[in-house]
Amino acid sequence: MEKEPTIWFYEDTGGIKLGLPVKDILFHKRSAYQDIYVMEIKGHGRALVLDDCIQLTEKDEFIYHELIVHPALFTHPHPQEVLVIGGGDGGSVREILKHKSVRHIDLVEIDAEVIEVAKTFFPTVSVGLKDSRVNIHIEDGIKYVKTTDKKYDIAIVDSTDPIGPAKALYEIEFHQDLGQRLNEDGIMIIQSECPYYNAQFIKDLCIRLRTIYPIVKIYVYAMPTYPGGMWSFIYASFKYEPTDVEEGKIKARWQTMTTRYYNPKVHKGVFYMLPQFMLEE
């Protein structure tokens, strides 16, 4: 019989802890930006942990990556040029590449070590990083959006929690610059923490984004290995309402790909599932 793990990794967020049973520590390094761990977790495959926060486990990363990508890419009628800020593990890129219309992805990751770790330890997540449509920039996303003159259909801010290196990705200056990098029917998505424990953070972020985008919507999902049960993304757009897209149109495109969480009903469900208390605050 396999010995039960007696080592537990605990992530502490908002006064609750989430614990995962550690079978082995496969990698540990302090990069220029953050503390990087790769652990083997009982029942969850490998986990990537940055600055003591679980970024992904092999068991459930599909939930986060499908939901940060597909609501925006299925809302846009013909997404071709996509920008990803952060997301060095490659999970978002893998999902974006499922859309046949996509011609080009710029991935702007500040920490080259994250990409190396993903390529070495998470081959099923990083699989898309070697695709010829993907251009990797090892660079600060803040600086990239300030200096590039490229325009995008979709921008995805796939960052760590809004502390440390990622803090500025939640501030108004970055979002003003990012908005100017989008086409006039562009869509921006950003990960926005747990609504139960960070309601004020989400409210403030929405207020900032509404100064730039006429359409700003929160959408939610449940992630087993993130503490707090419900997690959220913010959808912001100059033109498209995500719940206006016809289910049949989504279905026609979706049938050509394989997803494990997202489907045409989930597309509406994630926006409808918003608790009443979030609408009132």
Tell me which residues are annotated as active site: 158
CB nearer its own copies, residue 11 or residue 139: 11
Q: Which is nearer to its own copies, 62 or 144 (CB)?
A: 62
C-alpha pair distances (Å), 20 with each of 7, 49, 160, 192: 9, 11, 19, 23
What is the rounded distance in angstroms from the CA atom of residue 126 to the CA atom of residue 231?
Answer: 23
Judged by CB under 8 A, does residue 91 bind its own copies? no
Asked if residue 144 binds its own copies (CB under 8 A), the reply is no
DSSP line for 39-106: EEETTTEEEEEETTEEEEETTTHHHHHHHHHHHHHHHSSS--EEEEEE-TTSHHHHHHTTSTT--EEE
Q: What is the C-alpha separation between 157 and 178, in angstroms, rounded?
A: 10
Query: Shortest distance, CB of residue 243 to its own copies, whole angstroms?
Result: 10
Q: Does the protein bind its own copies through residue 15 (CB under 8 A)?
A: yes
* Phi/psi at 192 (5° precision): -135, 35
3-class SS of residue 228: coil
- CA 222/CA 213 separation, integer angstroms: 26
Using an 8 Å Cβ cutoff, are 50 and 56 in contact?
no
Q: Pick the closer one to its own copies by CB: 133 or 265.
A: 265
Between 33 and 231, whose beta carbon lies closer to its own copies?
231
Which of these ranges, 100-108, 115-123, 185-193, 194-202, lies near its own copies under the rule CB under 8 A?
A: 194-202
Q: How many helices (H) and strands (E) does the chain have?
A: 10, 12
Binding letters toward its own copies, positions 49-88, x by CB under 8 A? -----------x--x-------------------------
SS (H, E, C) 107-127: EEECCHHHHHHHHHHCHHHHH
Q: 10, 103, 180, 214: which one contacts its own copies (CB under 8 A)? A: 10
Nearer to its own copies, 45 or 104 (CB): 45
Residue count at the site for its own copies (CB under 8 A)? 48
CB of residue 257 vs its own copies: minimum separation in angstroms?
Answer: 11
When the beta carbons of 121 and 226 are compared against its own copies, the nearer one is 226
* Of the candidates 75, 117, 76, 118, the residue with the CA atom closest to the CA atom of residue 93: 118
Please report whether residue 99 would count as binding its own copies according to CB under 8 A.
no
252 sits near its own copies (criterion: CB under 8 A): no
Q: Which of 39, 44, 121, 175 binds its own copies (CB under 8 A)?
A: 44
Smallest separation, CB 220 to its own copies (Å)? 7
User: Could you tell me the smallest distance in angstroms from the CB atom of residue 229 to its own copies?
Assistant: 4
**Rounded to the nearest 5°, which phi and psi values hold at 59?**
-65, -45
On whether the CB atoms of residues 258 and 248 are closer than 8 A, the answer is no
Among 81-89, 97-105, 122-130, 222-230, the segment contacting its own copies (CB under 8 A): 222-230
Residues in contact with its own copies by CB under 8 A are 8, 10, 14-21, 42-44, 60, 63, 194, 196-197, 220-231, 259-263, 265-266, 268-277, 279
